[in-house]
């Protein structure tokens, strides 16, 4: 299993461009991430495939 990111790393979603924070790896290619929604002012968590993420600048 390749792990490109560590816990706490800032990553960018290639699909919608959101900057997220890595929480943990769930399965072989799934990553739990957390992001902040400015409109509703809430923190959301979701799972994303590792292939859809890249390092944030």
What's the mean per-residue pLDDT of the chain?
A: 91
Residue 18 makes CB contacts below 8 A (sequence gap 6+) with 12, 35
Tell me how far apart the alpha carbons of residues 17 and 52 are, in angstroms, rounded to a whole number: 10
Ranges of the chain whose pLDDT falls below 70:
1
Decide if 17 is inside a domain. yes
Q: Is residue 36 part of a domain?
A: yes
Q: pTM for the complete prediction?
A: 0.82
pLDDT value, residue 1: 57
Domain region containing 44? 10-55
pLDDT at 34: 96
Q: Map tokens 């960018």 to a residue.
A: 12
Distance (Å, rounded) from C-alpha 6 to C-alpha 31? 10
Kindly report the backbone phi and psi dihedral angles of residue 38, in degrees, each rounded to the nearest multiple of 5, phi listed first: -70, -30
pLDDT at 44: 95
Domain count of the fold of the chain: 1
What pLDDT, on the 0 to 100 scale, is given for residue 56? Answer: 85
């Amino acid at each position: 299993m390749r792990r490109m990111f560590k816990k706490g790393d800032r990553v960018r979603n290639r699909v919608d461009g959101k900057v997220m924070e890595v929480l943990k790896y769930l399965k072989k290619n799934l990553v739990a991430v957390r992001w902040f929604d400015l409109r509703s002012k809430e923190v959301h968590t979701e799972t994303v495939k590792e292939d859809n993420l890249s390092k944030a600048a």
